[in-house]
Amino acid sequence: MSKLERNWQYAEQYPGETEALVRARRLSLELGIEPVSRSVGAQLSGSTVLARAQAICEVGTGVGVSGLSLLRYASEATLTSIEIEAEHLREARGVFSDAGIAAARLRLIEGDARHVMPRMNLAAYDLVLIDAEPAQLLEHFENALGIVRPGGCIIVPGAFAHGRVPDPAARDEDVQAMRDLLALVAESPAIAPILSPAGDGLLTLVRLDGDAPGTPNPPRR
């Protein structure tokens, strides 16, 4: 194992998940839904505090590993989480309930985020997590940019697509979508991008004031 792999493994095994998170992660893996990794979960938990997040939106609930992580230290925050698969959402409801998350803090929406997000309030969210279909990433990002407030952030796990994004030989649709997003935000005066090697690559995009190049429409009011 290389030094980098040892570092990565150490970060992923660093303890600290709650019992509810451990159970949710186990359930997610049993159902074949890839949850955010432990180190990414920890970064989500800390990011909500750093962003003073009160209103959080998530695309791709899964069974709730990322959702529990987002709400872990943000006791006043509410989570709007969008999931296209009814079965995943049903499991997630059980996970949030078992973890003691009050129903008033949750808005779980069954639907395609590409149709749901354009109907949400503009600049109303402190933090938006995108963890859904990689090929739809740019569409989700454009919608997320509309609903996140200036100073808030958009977080995208899976930025390396299991090592394929840094691999020049990989050219599939998912990889190309991630590369397009990375290129777009690297050039944008409206976004401060942070790419971390946590998990499968974690991209944090802080929305600055102003419009981002590539944004099809200015934020709606």
Ligand X SMILES: C[S@@+](CC[C@H](N)C(=O)[O-])C[C@H]1O[C@@H](n2cnc3c(N)ncnc32)[C@H](O)[C@@H]1O
In the complex, which residues of this chain contact ligand X (CB under 6 A)? Answer: 28, 33-36, 59-60, 62-66, 82-85, 88, 112-114, 131-133, 136
Closest CA to 154 of 130, 187, 174, 179: 130
In the complex, least distance from residue 119 CB atom to ligand X, rounded to whole angstroms: 13
Q: How far is the CB of 27 from ligand X (least distance, A)?
A: 9
Residue 43 burial by Cβ neighbours in a 10 Å radius (0-12, 13-18, 19+) = buried
Angle between helices 173-187 and 137-147 (to 10 degrees): 40
In the complex, what is the shortest distance from the CB of residue 209 to ligand X, in angstroms, rounded to a whole number? 29
Residue among 108 and 148 whose Cβ is closer to ligand X:
108
- Residue 133 tokens read as 């279909």
Cβ of residue 69: shortest distance to ligand X, in angstroms? 8
User: Nearest distance from residue 60's CB to ligand X, in Å?
Assistant: 3
Cβ-proximal residue to ligand X, closest one: 62
Q: Distance between CA 89 and CA 109 in Å, rounded?
A: 8
Place of tokens 């186990």: 26
Task: Report the residue number, 126 or 139, with the smaller CB distance to ligand X.
Answer: 139
Q: Is the dihedral of CA 41, 44, 46, 48 positive or negative?
A: negative
Which DSSP string do the residues of 175-217 spell out, in sequence order? HHHHHHHHHHHHH-TTEEEEEE-STT-EEEEEE-SSPPTT-SS
Longest distance between any two alpha carbons in the chain, whole Å = 52
Instruction: Give the pairing of strands 191-196 and 202-207.
Output: antiparallel
The distance of Cα 204 from the centroid of its chain, to the nearest Å, equals: 9
Integer Cα distance of 92 and 98 in angstroms: 10
Q: Shortest approach of ligand X to residue 88 CB, angstroms?
A: 4
